[in-house]
Amino acid sequence: MKLLFLNGPNLNMLGIREPDIYGKQTYADLEEYIRGFCGDLGIGCEIFQSNHEGALVDAIQAAYQKFDGIVINPAAYTHTSVALLDALKAVGLPAAEVHLSDVSRREDFRQISYVRLACCKTFAGFGFEGYRLAAEYLLTTKSGVIDTAKE
């Protein structure tokens, strides 16, 4: 089992950007956290962050036949990007959406998620832990314990 973890714009500013919303831990801390739980779960992982929509589209396309699933926090592109939605649909890999903050309790414009239409599940408001929950979900789904039906 090998998962690709994708992070969108401004997540490289974690620790500096709006710490009251996103916490004080840095992006390097997030990478360390992801590598840590993947090691514990016996999952292979690659982590990629970009501030550029096209680079994220390229990363999704490159995952085709190389990864078993994608954990994606598209950040602001969540609310705007049909290109990321189409890329996820194109590769057809099981994908889970993650947000550090609970977007459901934030501004109206954050209530729309295009990528969600290509994801089996969303984890929002769990901070770093959301990434682990998403990975565990994909792991369990992959082994057939949980149906991939949308919830």
Q: Is 34 in the site for ligand DQA (CB under 6 A)?
A: no
Report H helices in 15-144. Answer: 19-22, 27-41, 53-62, 82-91, 129-142
Please tell me which residue in 27, 99, 114, 137 is annotated as part of the active site: 99
Query: Which listed residue (103, 115, 118, 119) binds ligand DQA by CB under 6 A?
Result: 103
Is 79 part of the annotated catalytic residue set?
no
* 30-38, 45-53, 56-64, 100-108 -> range binding ligand DQA (CB under 6 A): 100-108
We find the least distance from the C-beta atom of residue 99 to ligand DQA, in angstroms, to be 4
Q: Is 96 in the site for ligand DQA (CB under 6 A)?
A: no
Q: Is 25 in the site for ligand DQA (CB under 6 A)?
A: no
Angle at 86 between CA 118 and CA 63, to 5 degrees: 80
Pick 113 or 141: Cβ nearer ligand DQA: 113
Angle at 8 between CA 58 and CA 42, to 5 degrees: 80
Residues near 32 by Cβ (< 8 Å), separated by ≥ 6?
A: none
Residues near 145 by Cβ (< 8 Å), separated by ≥ 6?
A: none
Spatial contact of 42 and 89, defined as CB atoms under 8 Å apart: no
Spatial contact of 50 and 59, defined as CB atoms under 8 Å apart: yes
Query: Which listed residue (1, 10, 31, 41) binds ligand DQA by CB under 6 A?
Result: 10
We find the least distance from the C-beta atom of residue 16 to ligand DQA, in angstroms, to be 13
Q: Is 121 in the site for ligand DQA (CB under 6 A)?
A: no
Is 22 part of the annotated catalytic residue set?
yes
Tokens coding 77: 């592109």
Query: Which listed residue (49, 50, 73, 81) binds ligand DQA by CB under 6 A?
Result: 73
Q: Which residues are catalytic?
A: 22, 99
